[in-house]
Chain A
Amino acid sequence: MAHAEHHITPKKTLIQVFVALITLTAITVFAAQMDLGPLNVPIALSIAIVKASLVVVIFMALKHDNRMNAVVFLVGAVFVVVFLVLTLFDTAYRGDLPNTVEGTIMEEQAEQDALRARDPGPTPVPPSQ
């Protein structure tokens, strides 16, 4: 039976990964205690991504799994990014066009008339009857 092909992750690897995860948790807590200004969020997120990757690759054994399952997982992750980024295109730039325009229609008209007086151009063709 084909079950022999299933990869069995050695206990040692699992424990090593666990130790790495705990270490990373300690680092992220430690980094958060120090105020790194604009680096706070990127550092915390990077560490979280590394931790999540360790869980996915080793604990969930995606490294030795059918490649299609990895594709499935990555597509899911990509869609989260799409959802986030395209929504932020709106919310982070909300109000980039004002709802109102400075000035009045009469002022605009006056400006147009002034421009026309300065540069009359060719005589406009009268509208046909």
Chain B
Amino acid sequence: MANLTTNFIGIKSPNPYWLASAPPTDKEYNVVRAFKAGWGGVVWKTLGAEGPPIVNVNGPRYGAIWGADRRLLGLNNIELITDRPLEVNLREIKQVKRDWPDRAMVVSLMVPCDEESWKAILKHVEDTEADGVELNFGCPHGMSERGMGAAVGQVPEYIEMVTRWVKQHSRMPCIVKLTPNIADIRKPAEAAKRGGADAVSLINTINSITSVNLDTFSPEPMIDGKGAHGGYCGPAVKPIALNMVSEIARSPETADLPISGIGGVTTWRDAAEFMTLGAGNVQVCTAAMTYGFGIIKELTAGLSQYMDQKGFTSVDQLVGRAVPNVTDWQYLNLNYVTKAKINQDLCISCGRCFAACEDTSHQAISMSPDRVFEVIDEECVACNLCVNVCPVQDCITMEEMPKGAVDPRTGEVVGDYGNWTTHPNNPMAKAAE
């Protein structure tokens, strides 16, 4: 069995699965249940400054989108940071950490944007002997209207400033949680690094309205006829998160900045994908909220089995393995030529490939009167749409043309690697030497 033990910026946990700062980590009861189930760590739900606790709405806090059989695909929430008294949270954190010393205990924080507020809360957290803090610069709803959460995360200068305060006033490892509601995710990551952050975690939730009630004309989730955008998460956001993680991992400025990957991790495969793109561990929320803490058994066993199959003995061997293969479009090999191929034995003659290609693409699939569908190599640009709409797995495959073959579409010989930067059609092309 592969060793899943993880050391993330000095914080050890028996596996790379932490529960993200969210309702599942709001109190001792839930966190202890999670640890009993086998979770490697938690990021305790965001604490605010001392004073009257936060107030949440008393109507629905979540909205969702589903597949046909009510499989939850995306979840949206308008819940704020913890609404329990600070001292209760601190007491419980301390107790849980004491009872579960081998598990990671990170505390999420969000206080007003002044040095004193941060200094004060850090002192409290240090007293709990938690392993580290995560700065919530990501929460997109409610708190951002009060100048916190994503309102900080969208201004790199603020991120740097607050991070610096945290590092000045605390010995604890500091993770900066980033909002995806921004044009270029590298900027806040660079700011966090300048401020001295030990790591970043991403993504926080995405501004969203899950649906509109077409009878009351109100967005969902609806509170007394009105709705406010919430934060979107769950399987639907994973592709966005993967890209943002990879952007930070492959940027020279932030390549050495550890990343805690978040965003739609539902199975071991999702976690492995995040890790290959540079995440040192992952945080999970929606999957646990959908299925309960029991999924940790699949998450750990699945990752173990995969690592065994690949011959990886520790998580570190997986982290970042796909990063070198993430590149810019301009460096993609334009001489890599493939053609779609339909396996007639597997084809069930539904004609979806034909409709997609004929109506919306390159008219590169023929249909015979008896419903035989075939690729016309002279027209196929290898867009892969037929593969994606085909309901039968592996029925349509993209077959690479060997070097030296002639692409019947272009009449050109398949050559060696060549990209846009040297392509004759590129006015900016560097002269091939």
- Are A and B physically bound partners? no
Q: Which residues on B are within 8 Å of A, measured CB to CB?
A: none
Q: Which residues on A are within 8 Å of B, measured CB to CB?
A: none
